[in-house]
Structure 1
Amino acid sequence: MCRAQGDAVAGRRWWRLPGTLLLLLAYVGYLLLGSAAFWALEGPAERHSAQQLLQDKWELLGNYTCLKGPALERLIQGIIKAYKSGLTLQGNSTSLGRWDFVGSFFFSISAITTIGYGNLSPSTEAATILTRTCALVTGLLLFLLLPPFLFSVIEGWTYEEGFYYSFVTLSTIGFGDYVIGMNPDLTYPSWYKNLVSVWILFGMAWLALVINLCITLLENSSDLCQCGKKKSKELGQELMDCNKNSSPRPDDVENCSSKDTKPEGAN
Structure 2
Amino acid sequence: VEGNKAQRGDAVAGRRWCRLPGTLLLLLAYVGYLLLGSTAFWALEGPAERHSAQQLLQDKWELLGNYTCLKGPALERLIQAYKSGLTLQGNATSLGRWDFVGSFFFSISAITTIGYGNLSPSTVSAQIFCIFFALFGIPLNLILLNRIGHLMLSGVQRCAKRLGEKLHWTCALVTGLLLFLLLPPFLFSVIEGWTYEEGFYYSFVTLSTIGFGDYVIGMNPDLTYPSWYKNLVSVWILFGMAWLALVINLCITLLENSSDLCQCGKKKSKELEQELMDCNKNTSPRPDDVENCSKIGGQEHDNTDI
Residue pair 1:148, 1:163 contacting (<8 A) in 2 also: yes
Aligned residues of 1:148 and 1:166 also touching (Cα < 8 A): yes
Deviation larger for 66-75 or 257-266: 66-75
After superposing the two structures, state which structure 1 stretch, 135-144 or 207-216, moved more. 135-144
Query: 3-state DSSP class of the match of 2:12?
Result: helix
Counterparts of 1:247 and 1:62 in 2: how far apart (Å)? 106
- TM-score, with normalisation over the residues of structure 1? 0.35
Distance 1:253 1:171, change over 3 A: farther
- Give the Cα–Cα distance (whole angstroms) in 2 for the partners of residues 59 and 126 of structure 1: 31
Which runs of no fewer than 5 residues in structure 1 stay unpaired?
Answer: none
Bigger CA drift: 241-250 or 224-233?
241-250
Residue of 249, 254, 261 corresponding to 1:224: 261
Corresponding position: 1:211 with 2:210: no
Larger Rg: 2
The answer to whether 1:160 aligns with 2:163 is no
Q: Which moved more, 1:4-13 or 1:204-213?
A: 4-13
- 66-75 vs 149-158, greater mean Cα deviation: 66-75
User: Quick check: 1:61–1:67 contact (8 Å CA) kept in 2?
Assistant: no
- Single out whichever of 219-228 and 206-215 deviates more from structure 2: 219-228
Q: For 1:264 and 1:61, locate their aligned partners in 2 and report how far apart those are by CA, in whole Å.
A: 131
Are the aligned partners of 1:111 and 1:209 in contact in 2 as well (CA < 8 Å)? no
Aligned partners of 2:173 and 2:247 also within 8 Å: yes
Q: Do the aligned partners of residues 158 and 126 (structure 1) sit closer, same or farther apart at CA in structure 2, a change above 3 Å counting?
A: same
| Distance (whole Å) between structure 1 residues aligned to residue 74 and residue 289 of structure 2 | 14
Correspondence for 1:190: 227
Q: CA deviation at 1:170?
A: 1.8
Shift of 1:220: 1.2
Q: Kindly report structure 1 stretches of 4+ aligned residues shifted beyond 3 Å.
A: 3-77, 82-129, 225-267
**Which structure has the higher relative contact order (CA within 8 Å, separation 6+)?**
1
CA distance, structure 2, for counterparts of residue 211 and residue 37 of structure 1: 34
Give the stretch that moved more between structures: 214-223 or 29-38. 29-38
Contact 1:152 1:162 in 2 (8 A): yes
| Count of equivalent residues | 258
1:196-227 Cα shifts (integer Å, max 9, x gaps): 01111122222222222111111112223344
Greater shift after overlay, 143-152 or 14-23? 14-23
- 1:93-126 CA deviation, whole Å, 9 max, x = no partner? 9999999999999999999999999999999999
The 2-side partners of 1:115 and 1:210 are apart by 18
Unaligned ranges ≥5, structure 2: 129-169
**Are the structure 2 counterparts of residues 252 and 118 from structure 1 closer, same or farther at C-alpha, using a change threshold of 3 Å?**
farther
Relative distance call for 1:248 and 1:201 in structure 2 (3 A) is farther
Kindly state the Cα deviation for residue 183 of structure 1 after the two structures are TM-superposed: 2.5
Q: 1:104 to 1:7 in 2, by over 3 A?
A: closer
**Cα offset, 1:76, TM superposition:** 72
Which stretch has the larger CA shift, 32-41 or 163-172?
32-41
Which residue is 1:22 aligned to? 25
Moved more, 160-169 or 255-264: 255-264
Tell me, yes or no, if the aligned pair for 1:61 and 1:69 is still in contact at 8 Å. no
More deviation, 119-128/101-110: 119-128
- Kept in 2: contact 1:114–1:209 (CA 8 A): no
**Rounded Cα–Cα distance in structure 1 between residues aligned with 2:113 and 2:204:** 19
The residue matched to 2:88 in structure 1 has which SS?
Answer: strand
Asked if 2 retains the 8 angstrom alpha-carbon contact of 1:63 and 1:260, the reply is no
CA shift, 1:174, in A, is 2.0
Is 1:169–1:200's contact at 8 Å kept on the other side of the alignment? Answer: yes
CA distance in 2 between partners of 1:50 and 1:245 (Å): 92
Q: Label 1:71 to 1:218 Cα distance change in 2 as closer, same or farther (>3 A).
A: farther
CA shift for structure 1 position 50: 70
Residues 182 and 215 of structure 1: CA distance in aligned 2, closer, same or farther (over 3 Å): same
